[in-house]
Amino acid sequence: MKHRITRRDFLNGTQVAIGASLLGPWTDVFGTPAAKFGLGKNYYPPAKTGLRGSHDGAWETMHARVAGTTWPAGPVEEEYDLVVVGGGISGLSAAHFYRRERPSARILVLDNHDDFGGHAKRNEFRVNNQTRIAYGGTESIDTPSGYTDVSKALLEDIGIDVQKFYEYFDQNLYDDMGLSYAIAFDEQTYGKRKLVTGYGSKPWAAFAAETPMSKEAQADLVRAFTDKRDYLPGMSREEKTAKLSRMSYRSYLEDYVKVGEQVLEMYQRWGMSYWCVGMDEVPAIDILGYSDGGDLPGIGRTLARDGERGVEPYIFHFPDGNASVARLLVRSLIPEALPGETMEDSVTARLDYSALDVHGSRLRIRLNSTAVNVAHTADSKAVDVTYVHLGEAHTVRAKKCIMACYNSAIPYICPELTEQQTAGLAYNVKVPLTYTKVMVPNWRAFADLAIRFVYYTNDFYKQVELDYPVSIGDYEFGADPDQPMALHMCYVPYFDDIKGPEQWRAGRRKLLETPFSTFEYHVRDQLDQALSGAGFDADRDITAITVNRWAHGYSYNPDLLWEPEYGSESEKPWVVGRQALGRISIANSDAGAASNTDSAITQGFRAVQEALTG
Ligand SMILES: Cc1cc2nc3c(=O)[nH]c(=O)nc-3n(C[C@H](O)[C@H](O)[C@H](O)COP(=O)(O)OP(=O)(O)OC[C@H]3O[C@@H](n4cnc5c(N)ncnc54)[C@H](O)[C@@H]3O)c2cc1C
């Protein structure tokens, strides 16, 4: 039976989090705690909808710290061998590596969110008596063959065999159904809103003719895809690479492929979900490795793709993304929290949050706890870590501390840092974005329109796409279009007039100010726009929305046009920033300036080596 979702349902999802932060205690919302910090048996954040990701209640303490509120160390309540600040993949990996070397160590992991995993976040939905699992952030184990040996070994240690995804991920489903990519052209640029299907699958002339672009722009588009010309003639491969590395893709299209404004605008926001900037800031060379939403024009004739691309398909995906990596890490650290033994059975196993922070346990993960002050004791023989849990400050003492949280926040927490290290850490401005999951009881409209992915040229959400067809263990992907699905929509704040890291700072503020109702409005509007031609009705066909808001999202990747060249590795700001400070080491994917799980794990390992030897 179809369920009609009301505005009240949506607001409830939001209000739970806000209510929790303002009215406390969290136990009213989540269940009765077993001990002082323990979580109740009914505590189950993956099932929450509304505004998630960096949810209300998670960020206010740290923002108060940045604004000047201080929490000096208080009486020591507990003692640990290691305290890890940040329970994302990096922090959990650090706990794993440390415990492997020191099996009897007492370890505490602190995280400000109501769930562990950081960006690796699981969303769950119930619809028509079925559970649908979705990824709220960290999506896939991207190109695992390129992972460091340390990361590969960790994945194996926690039971992940990436080769199995060749069996679990149905690479042909959408192709076999004839589902293509589509472009939703916007009214402001093209005079009217229009969905055009068959991007990359129809002949380019037929596709272009259906667009609302001018005749000249249509001809430009066809030429840019079909012309066999080399746009940088007479240059060696090395010369071309150097040139394309210092030129934006937009400039390349404009100055070399010579397409007009309407085509330039069509592609300006194409990479927003990946680079989170317009194509006027993305080096043309980077386009070679990017095909989300279909291929891009112009470049393939100039520089044949190198062997790297396409070696490994993008299939290493659990239904909840890399939240499964985090869950399997938790299973290895606290086996009783996640029943079962295999990567397959972990997918549907219910995590027992009440096992995370048990009094007397050697390994404890404490949620809803924001570290606000980390400093050596007067004799430098330990580190005092002060954190705020449910509005109350607590201090624990540790022999070692690993900061696996956002690197740019560390200077506000660790008062002993030098100015130079502070500047190095602050260099990493994290990139804001949201992953919105929209639960629909069926995806029939996509099948009827023969589409799998819609790119919006200039709208709030940059794209909507069908979920990845992956079935693991007891979890079966709804391959029939009459089955329920969590659609994926991505929103990245975009500013025409702000470039460089400033746009991410502005975007972060915008994200935190944007109410759930705005996200909801655009979900409905954009899905209706794309799908109403096949009978979709947002009022009837949306049963839940979860907005995973990541105000501090991707780690900064130093690969955009304005990034300077450094004389040596040791000059790089993130290398300066991640140096150990006495008993405090620094992890997180930020420490490797790479927004991926490989970096998160590898930096966790590096920090543990420092902690073990320092
Ligand atoms: C939307 C999105 C999609 C992504 N997709 C992919 C992908 O497909 N593949 C991939 O490899 N990578 C992806 N990434 C990159 C992702 O960041 C890394 O893969 C990885 O999950 C980062 O782990 P981490 O532990 O380094 O950082 P985080 O996941 O950020 O974990 C750090 C934790 O520390 C907490 N923290 C911060 N300050 C404090 C404090 N003061 N006290 C206590 N805790 C604190 C944070 O809230 C967070 O929970 C994605 C990122 C985002 C945002």
Question: In this predicted model, what pLDDT tens digit does every residue of 224-266 receive, in sequence order?
Answer: 999 988 999 999 989 999 999 999 999 999 999 999 999 999 9
Dump pLDDT digits (tens) for 464-482: 999 999 999 999 999 999 9
Give first-to-last CA distance, the chain, whole Å: 61
Confidence of residue 26 (pLDDT cuts 50, 70, 90): very low
Contact 205, 215 (CB under 8 A): no
Q: Taking residues 197-218, what's their average pLDDT? A: 97
Instruction: Band the pLDDT of 15: cuts 50, 70, 90.
Output: very low
Q: Which residues contact 30 (CB under 8 A, 6 or more apart)?
A: 39, 40, 42, 43, 44, 45, 114
- The 3-state DSSP class for residue 45 equals helix
Q: What whole-number percentage of the chain has pLDDT above 90? A: 87
* Ligand 1 atom closest to Cα of residue 120: 21
* Gap between the Cα atoms of 416 and 81, Å rounded: 21
Confidence (pLDDT) at 309: 44
Q: What is the pTM of this model?
A: 0.93
Beta strands at 107-110 and 363-366: parallel, antiparallel or unpaired = parallel
Q: Look at ligand 1, atom 11, and give the residue with the nearest C-alpha.
A: 596
Nearest Cα to Cα of residue 318 among 471, 145, 480: 471
Torsion of CA 217, 221, 223, 227, to 10 degrees: 160
200-238 in b/e form (b: 16+ CB < 10 A) is eeeebeebbebbbbeeebbbbbbbbbeeeeebbeebeee
Q: How far is the CA of 137 from the centre of ligand 1 (A)?
A: 8
Question: Residue 124: which of 112, 132, 114 has the closest Cα?
Answer: 132
pLDDT at 315 over 60: yes
Q: Which residues have CB under 6 Å of ligand 1? A: 62, 85-91, 110-113, 118-120, 137-140, 142, 322, 370-371, 404-406, 409, 413, 433, 435, 550, 553-555, 588-589, 595-597, 600
Residues 6 or more apart whose CB falls under 8 angstroms from that of 32 comprise 40, 41
Measured distance CA(210)–CA(371) in Å, rounded: 55
Residue 306 burial by Cβ neighbours in a 10 Å radius (0-12, 13-18, 19+): exposed
pLDDT of the residue at 304: 60
For ligand 1, the distance from its centroid to the CA atom of residue 581, given in whole angstroms, is 22
Q: Tell me how far the alpha carbon of residue 118 lies from the centroid of ligand 1, in angstroms.
A: 5
Three-class secondary structure of residue 189 per DSSP: helix
Specify the ligand 1 atom closest to the Cα of 372: 41
Residue with tokens 């507990």: 78
State the Cα–Cα distance between residues 477 and 230, nearest whole angstrom: 43
Mean predicted confidence (pLDDT) in 196-200: 96
Q: DSSP 3-state assignment of 434?
A: strand
Instruction: Sort 576 into a burial class: Cβ within 10 Å, 0-12 / 13-18 / 19+.
Output: middle
- For helices 149-157 and 597-613, the axis angle rounded to 10 degrees is 90
pLDDT interval class at 299 (50, 70, 90): confident
Give me ligand 1 centre to Cα 91, in Å. 10
